[in-house]
Amino acid sequence: MGDIHGDDSQCRSRSFSDSRRFSKYVKDNVHGNICLDQLALKFIDTEQFQRLRDLKQLGVTHLVYPGAVHSRFEHSLGVYHIAGEAVNEIKKYQGSELEITDNDIQTVKLAGLLHDVGHGPFSHTFESVFLPQVLPGSTWSHEDMSTRMVEYIVDEHNVEIDAEMLKKVKEMIVASSEHASLYSIKEKRFLYDIVANGRSGIDVDKFDYIVRDSRACGLGCSFQFERLLQTMRVMGDEICYRAKEYLTIHKLFITRADLHRTVYTHAKVKAIELMIVDALLKANNPLRIALRVHDPAEFWKVRDLGIFCAAVRILLSSSESLDDTIIKTIEASENPELKESRDLILRIRRRDLYQFCNEFAVPRGMLEHFKDITAQDIICSQVSGGISLKEEDMAVSNIKIDLTRGTNNPLESIRFFQDYDTDEKFSIQDERISHLLPGCCQDKIVRVYSKKPELVAVVSEAFENLQLKMFGRKAQVHATPKKKKSRSQMKPLV
């Protein structure tokens, strides 16, 4: 028996030594040292994953918040790290009870690492605003593309990974999306709620981006995800939280909503996003952007394009990649078909942005059945003559900000337990928490922008008339500044 134990000990020692030898530590400005294991490195050290370095986590937000230049590459490493922390915390106290294996831990961590590998450029603007206009009816999502990109990386680079593990990684990536129904998850369902949680909305993806984004934008962040990691417990195949942490959880959702309001949907950020979308729409045909979103091999890579140079009447070779650098490609190109796109990007560079005219919040009683406002709705509200507005003169942004559950309070979807020596789980109703909590958990905001500074006054007036027609009063909080309206007298209309 002594010899057997000695051999087993030596095997474990060699295994641990090999693991350390092939691991790598990187220094992250949020989580400190992150240990990347051998299998993770096989995915990271591919050109497909390295592409994430050229995708800013917050798209064009850095043009308003200069520090927001962090990438989806570092975010993915962060989610990988916290995913491992989360499943290890559960294993520490319930590992034998739940039969958590090293394979389970590896799978969850890989799902965290690869959850954004199929993301498009410019944050969510690419898939939620641009693609619906060029591919009407398309169900394209970055989660679905991530699963296909994972398969592509495995095949292209001969990554040795267990087939069952690969299947579970893909399932975990889409666990909170509408594509989750494609998979039948029969055991250890709680593992699928760690990276992307469609049941309660609490997941390590949010843990990382809330802290990382707040720090990059120079904002304070009082939400502490570590408290949730330390108190969570699996009950009935569901991750539950200690009841006394309900305010920490509420702070998670409130902080996320506040980031949406003050950062992600900042008025100038949205103005730039609208201009980027218009530039991509005008560049879509010459650059064949939409044709590349379904094939992983075409989606990620730099490719050669024949670009017509009018000056010398020859075809020049240029390169472009479907990441944030596509804007540089448009800027550098002399293709006459890209002139309108170039002009829009030049306007962004010179801070000649679409002008924010005004906004109003949809009244609470109308939230559920409110129909998005269109440019045509505003044009139809124009009363006085002089200048007849056209749809291309303005941009309308319909913004929805919630706590992850629409008009419902997400706390109602979360199960709590009182103490570790009880097996009862329960939900907590609003009235049992505090009367200071919001009575409504969703905002819908309608914003209008003038694409030409000289039309601000006209667009603003039509927008005010729309509010009078809809509500019998102006719903906007402030009048459009006179200095913006006065620009119509300073610049001639062209």
Mean pLDDT, range 63-72, rounded to an integer: 97
Nearest-angstrom CA–CA distance, 41 and 232: 29
Residues 6+ apart with CB under 8 A from 223: 210, 211, 248, 251, 252, 255
Q: Distance (Å, rounded) from C-alpha 116 to C-alpha 49?
A: 9
Q: For 314-327, how does the pLDDT look when each residue is reduced to its tens digit (9 = 90+)? A: 333 344 668 899 99
| pLDDT of 399 | 96
Which of these is catalytic: 81, 119, 142, 250? 142
204-208, 309-313, 329-333, 485-489: least confident range: 309-313
- Partners of 402 in beta bridges: 442
Residues 2-22: tens digit of each pLDDT: 443 444 444 444 454 556 667
pLDDT the model gives residue 4: 39
The 10s digit of each residue's pLDDT in 329-340 is: 999 999 999 999
Active site residue 142: yes
Which residue type sits at 74? E
Report the pLDDT value the prediction gives residue 493, as an integer from 0 to 100: 43
Mean predicted confidence (pLDDT) in 375-391:
90
Q: Taking residues 171-191, what's their average pLDDT?
A: 76
The confidence score (pLDDT) of residue 18 equals 56
Torsion-angle region of 123 (φ positive above 0: left; ψ -120 to 50: alpha; else: beta): left
pLDDT band for position 436 (50/70/90)? low
Per-residue pLDDT at 433: 61
pLDDT for residue 487 is more than 90: no
**In the predicted model, is pLDDT for residue 179 greater than 70?**
no
The predicted model gives 181-207 an average pLDDT of 86
Alpha helices (runs of H) in 238-323, residue ranges in sequence order: 246-259, 267-287, 296-300
Q: Report pLDDT for 1.
A: 40
Strand partners, 446: 360, 398
Question: Is 172 exposed, middle or buried, given 0-12, 13-18 or 19+ CB atoms closer than 10 A?
Answer: buried
The mean pLDDT of 32-51, rounded to a whole number, is 96
The lowest-confidence range among 95-104, 234-243, 421-430 is 421-430
What's the pLDDT at 45?
Answer: 97
Domains of the chain: 23-265 (1.10.3210.10), 269-349 (no CATH), 354-403+441-490 (3.30.70.2760)
pLDDT tens by residue, 77-91: 999 999 999 999 999
Contact 348, 277 (CB under 8 A): no
Q: Which pairs with CB-CB distance under 8 Å and at least 24 residues apart come from 463-468? A: 463/357, 463/358, 463/378, 463/381, 464/358, 465/381, 465/382, 465/383, 466/373, 466/377, 466/378, 466/381, 467/360
**Is the pLDDT score of 73 beyond 60?**
yes
> Which residue would you say has higher pLDDT here, 435 or 229?
229
% of the chain surpassing 90 pLDDT: 73
What is the bridge-based pairing of β-strands 238-242 and 303-309? Answer: unpaired
Q: State the pLDDT at residue 195.
A: 97
Mean pLDDT for 205-211 is: 97
What per-residue confidence (pLDDT) applies to 392? 96
Q: Give the pLDDT band (50/70/90) at residue 387.
A: confident
* Mean of pLDDT over the chain: 88
Give per-residue pLDDT as tens, 262-299: 999 999 999 999 999 999 999 999 999 998 899 999 88
Number of other residues whose CB lies within 10 A of the CB of residue 473 = 8
Record the pTM. Answer: 0.90
At residue 452 the predicted structure's pLDDT band, cuts being 50, 70 and 90, is very high
Find out whether 165 and 107 touch, Cβ atoms under 8 Å: yes
More confident residue, 73 or 441: 73
Say which residue, 371 or 300, is predicted with more confidence.
371
